[in-house]
Amino acid sequence: MGLKSDYLREVKAFQPSPSYAANAVKAFLVGGTLCALAQWLSDWYGGVFAASPLAAQLWASIVMAGLAIFVTAVGKYDDFSQFAGAGATMLIMGLANALASAAIEHRSEGWTAGVAGQMFKAGGASVIYGLIAAYVLGLVWP
Amino acid sequence: MEYVRAFLAGGVLCAIAQLVIDRGKWTPADVAGSLVVLGVLLGFGGVYDRLAAWAGAGATMPLSGFGYWLAKGVMAEPRPEGLIETGAAVFRFAGALFAFIVAGSFAAALICKPKG
């Protein structure tokens, strides 16, 4: 029994246990609603502009990402993702939020070292892993 | 009905991600990266095409959808050949989203000051 494990056992009784079920339900409801909204947008583009299904889905994603950047710029996305958890962060909107919030946050450090340099601080990992996976697989895929 | 399918698929993906963040040892950034790579792998396997046909935006809006766009750029006809074409093809669809998000974020920083 080291000091560290003793301590962890002692403080356990005083830590609030995270409500897994409630968090998952909130993520489910918010994530699902946003996806249904994107589906409606995609249908609308397909109907009004006669866009191909693929282009309509890209348009819907772009509009939702733009919405996320706007809400981030207004400063409300943090409250929203505090409530929705993964329902807000694990969508493409979450990637837009990660880039936009990092860009705005580092504004005071200048445009090059701050905004452009730090933009991928939080969202870079997912873009970079995905890009490497797609590029390498694309080179070797028969 | 397609809205229900989009709702279910997107909701289930987000709920699973939330459970992995809460119960597992992964940080949210780890989960986000894994989702994108999962989308790339399933995109190459052709599984994600079927998921996207069934769930629509429920499959393309989660971060795995971004991975799917990356993979789809390479897998769509005409298939790219060699280093140069493959490198360009990765951005065939994902680039539309990527360029918009980067430019939009910079524009937001131009206009807004940090809040809170």
Q: What is the pLDDT of residue B94?
A: 95
Is residue B90 within 8 Å of A84, Cβ to Cβ? no
Residues in chain B closer than 8 A to A89 (CB atoms): 28, 32
C-alpha closest to that of A20 among B63, B30, B16, B31: B16
Q: Is B96 within 8 Å of A33 when comparing Cβ atoms?
A: no
C-alpha closest to that of B3 among A57, A40, A44, A27: A40
Q: What is the pLDDT of residue A1?
A: 61
- Closest-CA distance, A3 to chain B, in angstroms, reads 22
List, in sequence order, every beta strand (DSSP E) within chain B: none
Residues in chain A closer than 8 A to B31 (CB atoms): 86, 90
Q: How far is CA B24 from the centre of its chain?
A: 22
The pLDDT averaged over each successive group of 10 residues in chain B (116 residues) is 93 95 91 96 95 94 96 92 94 96 96 78
Q: Is A122 within 8 Å of B29 when comparing Cβ atoms?
A: yes
Q: Is B113 within 8 Å of A90 when comparing Cβ atoms?
A: no
B43 vs B51: CA distance, rounded Å:
10
pLDDT at residue A134 is higher than 90: yes
pLDDT at residue A11 is higher than 90: no
Q: What is the pLDDT of residue A6?
A: 84
Give residue A38's region: left, alpha or beta (phi > 0; psi -120 to 50). Answer: alpha
pLDDT at residue A72 is higher than 80: yes
pLDDT at residue A15 is higher than 90: no
Indicate the pTM of the whole model. 0.90
Residues in chain B closer than 8 A to A115 (CB atoms): 106, 109
Is A51 an 8 Å CB contact of chain B?
no
Interval A69-87 mean pLDDT: 92
What ipTM was estimated for this complex?
A: 0.93
Is residue B39 within 8 Å of A130, Cβ to Cβ? yes
